Amino acid sequence: MRYDFGSDNTAGMAPAALQALVEANAGYARAYGADDATARAAELIRQRLDADAEVRFVFSGTAANAVGLSMLAWPHEAVLAHHAAHVCTDETGAPGFFGHGVGLIGLPGFSGKIDRTALEAALGEPEVGHRQPPAALSLTQSTEYGAVYTEEELRHLIEPVKLRGYGVHMDGARLANAAAAGFDLKDIARLGVDVLVFGGAKAGALCAEAIVMFDRSLARRIDNRLKQAGQTASKARFLAAPFVGLLESGAWETGAAHANLMAQRLAEGVAVGTPFILAHPVEANAVFVRMPAEAHGRLNEMGWACYRFDDGSVRFVCSWATDAAAVDALLADMAQLSA
């Protein structure tokens, strides 16, 4: 393999995150989240969001999403989400498992953004005793197709949901990339999001995400819930410390900005120097390219890891570690392929 563009998960830890992990390893620390690194990481997240909130660290985005959604819907209810959202396509029913039967209602929309009209139609459906009614909305920022919601777009989706008294969850696995693209993190709490997954792994941390509860009432017995779910780390400092390194150094933002820049470089090269076309606008760190299976197979044979996504396009994801030379070499090989 020459370079793995299959996911931003394939990159290692960012240097700032790794250094913070090494520093946290020195000496002793209180267990189960009572340590200084965990407290510091939580405070840094609150500062970035400009909001008072409860913060807990877990081992995966899937657990963070599923536990978060279980706070917002009863087992006989459902969550509205884009049909291509991670919670719908890549979590093996975890929202329903952690929510003891919570359902998912998939909605359409270009590039992973929920269509406003489709949402309003779903909210307007009559409630009947034979199917799960919606009780919450799940949004992904940036989306599975690399799009970034604007504040206005989010407001138009969140307001009608909140007016009905429903909850709002945001999957922020790639929140750093959205922020680097210009999204104001302070808007999340202002818009009425109840539970946020603050992404760490894709930003260069270890295998860790943060559950942020703006509605502190949702945190009632959260530690019991996480313990039962197998998401309570005895040595919690090792989940939290990488966040400290990324946030104190600014690498959470600068790494994402670099990833976005590499994606733009790749997208521009595809558009002007290859026989292929872009399937979606490139706003964050993911590039989706329309190409036949034969061309995709040839790229894999050449050592470029990339895979076909749900819509049939081939996805290339850049990370904090992607270098320009790799992008340029990939483009050179793509230019030799036939459309």
| Structural tokens at position 109 | 């929309």
Same domain, 131 and 43: yes
Nearest to 55 by CA among 205, 236, 181, 191: 236
Give the domain CATH number at 68: 3.40.640.10
Whether the predicted pLDDT of 339 surpasses 90? no
* 3-class DSSP assignment, residue 332: helix
Average pLDDT over residues 121-132: 94
| Structural tokens at position 30 | 């209180």
Whether the predicted pLDDT of 338 surpasses 90? no
Confidence of residue 5 (pLDDT cuts 50, 70, 90): very high
Same domain, 257 and 240: no
Confidence of residue 200 (pLDDT cuts 50, 70, 90): very high
Average pLDDT over residues 293-315: 96
Measure the CA–CA gap between 194 and 53, rounded to whole angstroms. Answer: 10
| Structural tokens at position 27 | 């000496």
Whether the predicted pLDDT of 66 surpasses 80? yes
Average pLDDT over residues 7-23: 97
Same domain, 294 and 214: no
Per-position DSSP letters for 26-59, written without gaps between them: SS---STT-SHHHHHHHHHHHHHHTS--EEEEES
- Quote the pLDDT of residue 333: 96
pLDDT tens for 84-115 read 999 999 999 999 999 999 999 999 999 999 99
Same domain, 145 and 284: no
Same domain, 62 and 143: yes
User: How many residues make up the chain in this entry?
Assistant: 339
Q: Please, are residues 234 and 31 in contact by the beta-carbon 8 Å criterion?
A: yes
- Quote the pLDDT of residue 1: 81
Whether the predicted pLDDT of 76 surpasses 90? yes
Average pLDDT over residues 182-197: 98
Q: Please, are residues 283 and 146 in contact by the beta-carbon 8 Å criterion?
A: yes
Average pLDDT over residues 257-273: 98
Same domain, 204 and 265: no
Same domain, 267 and 231: no
Q: Please, are residues 263 and 310 in contact by the beta-carbon 8 Å criterion?
A: no
Average pLDDT over residues 191-219: 96
Same domain, 130 and 199: yes
**Based on the number of CB atoms within 10 Å of its own CB, is 73 exposed (0-12), middle (13-18) or buried (19 or more)?**
buried
DSSP 174: T
Domain count, the chain: 2
Same domain, 33 and 133: yes
Give the domain CATH number at 311: 3.90.1150.10
Confidence of residue 292 (pLDDT cuts 50, 70, 90): very high
CA distances from 8 to 63, 165, 177 (A): 19, 36, 11
Q: Quote the percentage of the chain above a pLDDT of 70.
A: 100
The whole domain housing 319 covers 3-9+251-335
The distance in angstroms from the start CA to the end CA of the chain is 23
Query: Mean pLDDT over all residues of the chain?
Result: 97
CA distances from 161 to 73, 171, 190, 191, 323 (A): 13, 17, 15, 11, 41
Average pLDDT over residues 249-265: 98
Same domain, 142 and 256: no
Confidence of residue 273 (pLDDT cuts 50, 70, 90): very high
pLDDT tens for 210-253 read 999 999 999 999 999 999 999 999 999 999 999 999 999 999 99
Give the domain-ending residue among 197, 221, 249. 249
Give the domain-ending residue among 218, 249, 280. 249
Same domain, 75 and 195: yes
Give the domain-ending residue among 218, 233, 249. 249
| Alpha-carbon Rg for the chain in angstroms | 20
Same domain, 179 and 316: no
Average pLDDT over residues 52-65: 97
Whether the predicted pLDDT of 122 surpasses 90? yes
Whether the predicted pLDDT of 197 surpasses 80? yes
Measure the CA–CA gap between 126 and 91, rounded to whole angstroms. Answer: 28
